[in-house]
Structure 1
């Protein structure tokens, strides 16, 4: 894959995130590891109409903006902190899905045991304590949780998901929002989650 093709993929998945109602016009950000460079969506642009030419480049080791004509996302440090902590992660998706965001402001946890897919992809979803968006403190907090999780809630903020590929990270984010919605709806319908024995079997499939 060329860097141009990689940038086009980042732009495509940002558009998918917006088109599926998982973020607002200028909210959220997506990145991809490309060798020693991080490709990331810019700040202040319509996330539903990005192209490869809009995607910024950042030196992973130093954090330097290699495309100074582009304004970096305020969450660049958060994305970079995940890559520095997780060598197996090549893509990060951060957005503000409605139902997941509801649970970022609640003491209740998202129940990932209602369907097998969410437990398989997400295990249990933890919440990163509130840190102001776009700050080094938020980046540090996410980095602390990243080694043990592939999807996280950010208290009073949003959600973030990681993966070896963009489709894997996006799939986790979409599954997280589905699990949040199911948890919310489960208050209206009697439900039962997958039992411990079956959860253990699912865990062995990861």
Structure 2
């Protein structure tokens, strides 16, 4: 694992990336990264992701306890905690409300994963989490139930939760998700029928293309 200072710099970089590419807005959203088996860093409550400072990152234990005497961790800590507890290989969690992804999360539209290379890999499995009040323990429990079934969760009438083995991979997954949702909404509005790849082609890609190691579910 990286040291805490390096992780803070990577989280700051991630916050700026999300703002620059329209993946976050206002003070909505929160991000975290695992520091070791027992601890992770998460953005403080009310922070603006585009202007994070090292002091905006709060250390928490995976058991859920804040270990800072300064700022409070994000109220969405129960979701992050649930992921780190259920998925020990996960090292980064991003929660945001990008426009197109959140639009889809507020609908019953399914997001195809068979359009192109990035969707086949990053969007291989997407699950929905029924609406629970943001920051509630109930939401954390609902996320825990779905954590092992996907690496992207659509939080109905709320936003999205993306988690992966590194902040870089999580950023790419979030950006791919938003691009796919934008394509989906745009195509529907223009009456364009998008053609996906056959199931056999998708399976062959995931197993044999060596684009990235196959995910272990």
TM-score by length of 1: 0.95
| Matching of residues 137-156 of structure 1 within 5 Å | 137-156=138-157
Q: What CA deviation, in whole Å up to 9, does each residue of 1:25-78 have, x standing for no partner?
A: 2111110111121100111122211022221111112x2211121121011111
| Matching of residues 1-206 of structure 1 within 5 Å | 1-35=2-36, 36-61=38-63, 63-187=64-188, 188=190, 189-205=192-208, 206=214
Give the whole-Å Cα distance in 1 for the aligned partners of 2:144 and 2:175: 21
- What secondary structure is seen at the aligned counterpart in 1 of 2:104? helix
Deviation at 1:186, TM superposition (A): 2.1
Give the whole-Å Cα distance in 2 for the aligned partners of 1:65 and 1:124: 31
Would you say how many aligned residue pairs link Structure 1 and Structure 2? 205
- Report the CA distance shift for 1:19/1:92 in structure 2 as closer, same or farther (over 3 A): same
Gaps (5+ residues) in structure 1? none
Gaps (5+ residues) in structure 2? 209-213
Deviation at 1:2, TM superposition (A): 2.0
**Quick check: 2:125–2:151 contact (8 Å CA) kept in 1?**
no
Give the whole-Å Cα distance in 2 for the aligned partners of 1:167 and 1:114: 22
Over the aligned positions, Cα root-mean-square deviation in angstroms equals 1.2
**Quick check: 2:125–2:149 contact (8 Å CA) kept in 1?**
no
**Quick check: 1:97–1:158 contact (8 Å CA) kept in 2?**
yes
